[in-house]
Structure 1
Amino acid sequence: MEIITSIVSLLSGLAIFLVGIHQMSAGLENISSQRMQKGLSKVSNNRFLSFGFGAFITAVMQSSTLVTVMTISFLNANLLSLAQGIAIVLGANIGTTLTALISSFATVEYAIYLSLFTLVGVLMEMFAKKTKTKKFAQIFVGFGLIFIGLNFASSSFQTPEMKDFISSAFQAVNFPVLLIIISILFTILVNSSTLVVGLAIILVSSQTIPLEYALYIVLGAEVGTTSTGIIASLSGNANAKRLAFIQLIFNLLGTIVFTAILWIFTDEIVGLLNNVNPNFQVALFQIFFNVSTAFIAILFVNQLEKFSKKIIKDDTTSLASMNLQFIDEKLLVTPSFALTALHKEVKRMFDLTKENLILSFQSIKSQTPINPDIVKKNEETIDFLNGAISLYLVKLSGEHLSYKDELEIGKLYHLINDLERIADHAHNFILIVEEMVEVGSKFSGAAESELNQMTDQVLLMYDLAEDIYQNDAVEKLNELSVLEYVIDKSKSDFENNHVIRLRTGECSLEHSKFFYDFTSQLERIGDHLINIGYTTINVVGDEKENEKKFVSK
Structure 2
Amino acid sequence: MKKKSQKSEEIGKILMGFSILMFGMNSMSTSMSPLAESPKFTNAMMLFSNPILGVLAGAAITAIIQSSSASIGILQSLSSQGIVSFGSAIPIIMGQNIGTCATALISTVGASKPAKRAGIIHLLFNIIGTFLFLTLFYIINAIRPFSFMDNFITPVNIATVHTIMNILTTMVLFPFTNKFVEITKRLVPAKSDSKIVGAGEFSRLDTRLIETPGLALQEAFDISNKMFDLTIEAVEEAVDIVENFNEEKYYSVVRLEKAIDLYEDKLGSYVSFIAKNLVLKSDQALASVILQAIGEFERMSDHAKNIAQSAKEMDDKKLNFSDEARGELEVYKKALLQTIKFTKNIFESLNYKEAIKIESYEELVDYMTDEIQLRHIERVKAGTCSIELGFILSDITTSVERISDHISNIGVSLDHMYEEELDQTKHIKANLKENPEFIETYKKLREEFRLPMKN
Do they superpose with TM above 0.5? Answer: yes
CA contact (8 A) 1:390 1:413 kept: yes
1:512 equivalent to 2:390? Answer yes
Offset at residue 328 of structure 1 (A): 2.9
- Distance, in Å, in 2 between the alignment partners of 1:406 and 1:313 is 26
Offset at residue 335 of structure 1 (A): 3.5
Structure 2 residue aligned with 1:448, among 326, 333, 337?
A: 326
Residues 121-520 of structure 1 aligned to structure 2 (within 5 Å): 155-156=26-27, 163=33, 191-196=66-71, 198-200=73-75, 202-203=77-78, 206=81, 226-237=102-113, 240=116, 320-322=197-199, 323-324=201-202, 326-520=204-398
1:37 match: none
- Distance, in Å, in 1 between the alignment partners of 2:189 and 2:354 is 45
Deviations 1:267-287 (A, max 9, x none): xxxxxxxx976759xx9xxxx
Q: 1:237 to 1:358 in 2, by over 3 A?
A: same
Q: 1:330 to 1:316 in 2, by over 3 A?
A: same
Partner AA of 1:230 in structure 2: I
Q: 1:394 to 1:239 in 2, by over 3 A?
A: closer
Offset at residue 221 of structure 1 (A): 11
Partner AA of 2:280 in structure 1: S
CA contact (8 A) 2:104 2:119 kept: no
Cα RMSD after superposing both structures: 5.2
Offset at residue 315 of structure 1 (A): 7.7
Offset at residue 352 of structure 1 (A): 0.9
Offset at residue 230 of structure 1 (A): 2.0
- Distance, in Å, in 1 between the alignment partners of 2:378 and 2:342 is 33
Partner of 1:443, secondary structure, is coil
- Distance, in Å, in 2 between the alignment partners of 1:368 and 1:335 is 44
Deviations 1:391-418 (A, max 9, x none): 1222123225334433332222212111
Q: 1:521 to 1:222 in 2, by over 3 A?
A: closer
Partner AA of 1:550 in structure 2: L
CA contact (8 A) 1:465 1:480 kept: yes
Partner of 2:431, secondary structure, is helix
The gaps in structure 1 that reach 5 residues or longer are 1-10, 16-148, 168-182, 248-274, 284-308
CA contact (8 A) 1:530 1:541 kept: no
Offset at residue 314 of structure 1 (A): 9.6
2:431 match: 549
Partner of 1:371, secondary structure, is helix
- Distance, in Å, in 2 between the alignment partners of 1:515 and 1:234 is 52
Offset at residue 313 of structure 1 (A): 12
Offset at residue 508 of structure 1 (A): 1.7
Q: 1:462 to 1:230 in 2, by over 3 A?
A: same
CA contact (8 A) 2:101 2:119 kept: no
Q: 1:397 to 1:154 in 2, by over 3 A?
A: closer
Deviations 1:59-87 (A, max 9, x none): xxxxxxxxxxxxxxxxxxxxxxxxxxxxx
CA contact (8 A) 1:332 1:399 kept: yes
CA contact (8 A) 2:342 2:358 kept: yes
| Structure 1 stretch displaced more, 512-521 or 446-455 | 446-455
Partner AA of 2:198 in structure 1: S
- Distance, in Å, in 2 between the alignment partners of 1:537 and 1:483 is 15
Q: 1:503 to 1:544 in 2, by over 3 A?
A: farther
1:31 match: none
Q: 1:279 to 1:542 in 2, by over 3 A?
A: closer
Partner of 1:367, secondary structure, is coil
CA contact (8 A) 2:71 2:96 kept: no
Deviations 1:133-175 (A, max 9, x none): xxxxxxxxxxxxxxxx6xx86654665x78579x9xxxxxxxx
Q: Which has the higher contact order (CA 8 A, sep 6+)?
A: 1
Deviations 1:212-238 (A, max 9, x none): xx9xxx999988963431223422139
- Distance, in Å, in 2 between the alignment partners of 1:543 and 1:352 is 33
Partner of 1:507, secondary structure, is coil
Partner of 1:536, secondary structure, is helix
- Distance, in Å, in 2 between the alignment partners of 1:378 and 1:532 is 20
- Distance, in Å, in 2 between the alignment partners of 1:313 and 1:484 is 37
Offset at residue 241 of structure 1 (A): 9.2
The gaps in structure 2 that reach 5 residues or longer are 1-16, 38-57, 124-148, 159-186, 436-455
CA contact (8 A) 1:535 1:541 kept: no
